Amino acid sequence: MLAGNDLSTHMETALIELAERQGPGVAVRLLWRPGTDEVVLEVNDDQTGSNFEVRVPGDRALDAFEHPFVYVSSPGAGVVAPDAAGAAGAASGLRRTS
């Protein structure tokens, strides 16, 4: 767990976009926090209104980026958005992005 100063330093470190793609109504971005192993997949689906972020292990980042909805539904996906995972996701500390 991060202490007070460590937490604010962690939160202030900007995420760097590694990749981005857009399709019909869906935007996907893969982000990385420098100095850490934190990789985040951000998905905005205008068709369903779902907007969510998912923490992704580095070795699964490309799979998650290419197939975000499959990845989100996989066990242990680390979802951080309640509208993406329902009640199961809410139990694991989910967060809406919009």
List, for residues 44-84, the tens digit of each pLDDT value: 988 888 888 888 888 888 988 998 888 877 766 665 554 54
Q: What is the pLDDT of residues 4-49, one digit of tens each?
A: 444 444 445 688 999 999 999 999 999 998 888 889 999 998 888 8
Query: What pLDDT is recorded for position 8?
Result: 42
Alpha carbon separation from 14 to 17, 32, 35, 38, 95 (Å, rounded): 10, 9, 10, 11, 18
**Whole-structure pTM value:** 0.63
DSSP percent split of the chain into helix, strand, coil, nearest 5: 35, 30, 35
